[in-house]
Structure 1
Amino acid sequence: MAEKKIPVIYTLILAIAFSAVSFVLLKKYTTPTATATEQTNGSANSEKCNYTIARLKGYNYIKPLITEEPECESKELASLKQDITALIDNEKQAGILNAASVYIKEFSTDNWTSINPGESFLPGSLFKLPVLMTILKMSETDPSLMSRKITYQPQGVVDIKQTYVTKSLKPGQSYTVKELLTYMIAYSDNSATQLLNRQINPEVLIRIFSDLGLNPPKPNAADYMAYTITTRDYSIFMAALYNAAYLTIPNSEFATSLMAQCNFKDGLLKGLPADVKVAHKFGEAGTAQIHELHETGIVYFNNSAYLITVMTKGPDLKKLAETISEISKITYARMKQNA
């Protein structure tokens, strides 16, 4: 496929995660327009509570459901929130944390809670999940995309350092797009991500944010570089995958199966029993002085699952991982107790 020169604004959208890259535009993709949020009355936590319901527009006879959630924070998770808040406050006082935010949701009950919901963070490699969803959304109209082969040549890839590295692409070897997705998500390989960036249509990437009710980065270089997101907003990507609410069911299953192979063990997984299944993704960001480490995961528990997203900021990356682990441990213990 012949490459086209891409404007700098498209290159910078992923610089927040893994430096500047170029894109190859595929044929124009269209999808129904972004949702309008609809409000209906519902019951949550044994009280009257409005539900926020988001649906896709653009169809004649249907409005596919994207997300729904009670506006009321769950009383059943109030003590869990209190415990996590105390941990975060203590670690702030100890100088371990500059900031932290947590979002937790039980899929079986719609119960949810959020700690420091107003805090926003640079997503770092968490941005690889929207990239994954973009490739999979494009494959729904172009199935051949997944089997397309790309040869890895290090000369054309920016060497981006990261703390947690396990398995990387081999120079001169060819990989299918499907294989590159595994490297990007399971091993968080930045080289694989850059190769995939050249295959995506930026319009589809932006449309995913809009369709899920999220504000996409604005078409301004400074805005792209400074793009941040909250734990609750980022969790919408994860909920959409678990509910198969945006991608096809096979693609949603494939995406979560890749996250179940993620080999980052120092965060959420460290706080859980070894036999618990988790589909998760982590991300690094920040500077040499103030690091950011985040992780999001679907924890499969008691014939259901709960979603947890933790974002942290502080001077020591290893200690941030320990904080995420401790929050995961506290959450799992409470979920087990409630069950």
Structure 2
Amino acid sequence: MEELRNKIESILSHYTGRWGIVIMNQTTGEKMELNPDMAFPAASMIKVPIMVEIMRQAAAGLLSLDQKLVIDSAAKVDGAGILKELRPGLTMTVRELVTLMIILSDNTATNILIDLVGMEAVNQTMSNLGLQSTVLRRRMMDFAEARSGKENMTSAADLAHLFAGIASGSLGLPPAYSAIMLDILKRQQIRDKLPFYWPEELVIAHKTGTLPGAEHDGGILYLPGGPYVVCVLAAGLKENYLGLQMVASIGKCLYDHIS
């Protein structure tokens, strides 16, 4: 993957900031990494660990994906998502809330699910899975907590480990739960980063994240030659649109290289 590394480093030379990148061929195990263990504010990438913990608790019988939760006015928060726009008192299943948390990055759904499973449980599971930099410290849109130092964090290596485990079914969960997560990730609606230049029919199961000065995207790219795990995290950006351009350019570079 040395040629791919050179191409990506050429793209990065046009931008300022910092980045963590992991690209792995899941068939051969061949890997290209740049700052894989560098910790970043997770933004909405933290929703992938939350989803994994929900599936773990569902598999353990601690909750049901079909149980219904009420979305009341107090639960609604700003930012990404659709639930804030809908009537209070609406009921949704855990499965539906997980779907909204991933495919629309719904912050209200995320906070309801954090309260359901507990931050400590998410962090303990991530630690048990061997993740070094991933920690859930605050609910979505709680910027006061973020300013006090309670920021959610992750790394490209940690996310690559999670995505690879979801794809291969090696996270210690029954296969049905990995299949549910893959199905949800494949229905991602936010496609302005890694897949921006890709053919519409190309399948990627992924999650994005955005904060001021940070743009992330990562997941599993399905190609005829086999799946690739791809994670690109970027922070310290002068403008977010530059991060969008950078991640999209890396996506195009990867597709062109593999194709």
Common topology (TM > 0.5): yes
**Map of 2:43 onto structure 1:** 124
**1:223-262 aligned within 5 A:** 225-246=150-171, 247-262=173-188
Bigger proportion of residues as helix: 2
CA–CA separation in structure 1 for the residues paired with 2:167 and 2:209: 20
**1:179-258 aligned within 5 A:** 179-215=96-132, 217=135, 225-246=150-171, 247-258=173-184
Q: Is the 8 A contact 1:99 1:119 kept in 2?
A: no
Q: Cα RMSD between the aligned structures?
A: 2.3
Give the count of matched residue pairs. 247
CA–CA separation in structure 2 for the residues paired with 1:230 and 1:87: 21
State the secondary structure of the residue aligned to 1:320. helix
Shift of 1:316: 1.7
Larger radius of gyration, structure 1 or 2?
1
* Distance of aligned partners of 1:82 and 1:205 in 2 relative to their CA distance in 1, 3 Å threshold: same
**Map of 2:83 onto structure 1:** 168
State the secondary structure of the residue aligned to 1:264. coil
CA–CA separation in structure 2 for the residues paired with 1:189 and 1:227: 16
Shift of 1:144: 5.2
Give the structure-2-normalised TM-score: 0.87
**Map of 1:312 onto structure 2:** 234
Unaligned runs of 5+ in 2: 138-144
Report the identity percentage.
Answer: 21
CA–CA separation in structure 1 for the residues paired with 2:92 and 2:37: 41
* Distance of aligned partners of 1:305 and 1:277 in 2 relative to their CA distance in 1, 3 Å threshold: same
CA–CA separation in structure 2 for the residues paired with 1:255 and 1:86: 34
Letter in 2 for 1:136: M
* Distance of aligned partners of 1:214 and 1:224 in 2 relative to their CA distance in 1, 3 Å threshold: farther
Shift of 1:303: 4.7
State the secondary structure of the residue aligned to 1:274. coil
Unaligned runs of 5+ in 1: 1-76, 93-97
State the secondary structure of the residue aligned to 1:184. helix
Give the structure-1-normalised TM-score: 0.68
CA–CA separation in structure 2 for the residues paired with 1:177 and 1:119: 32
Correspondent of 2:222 among 252, 277, 300: 300
CA–CA separation in structure 2 for the residues paired with 1:122 and 1:294: 10
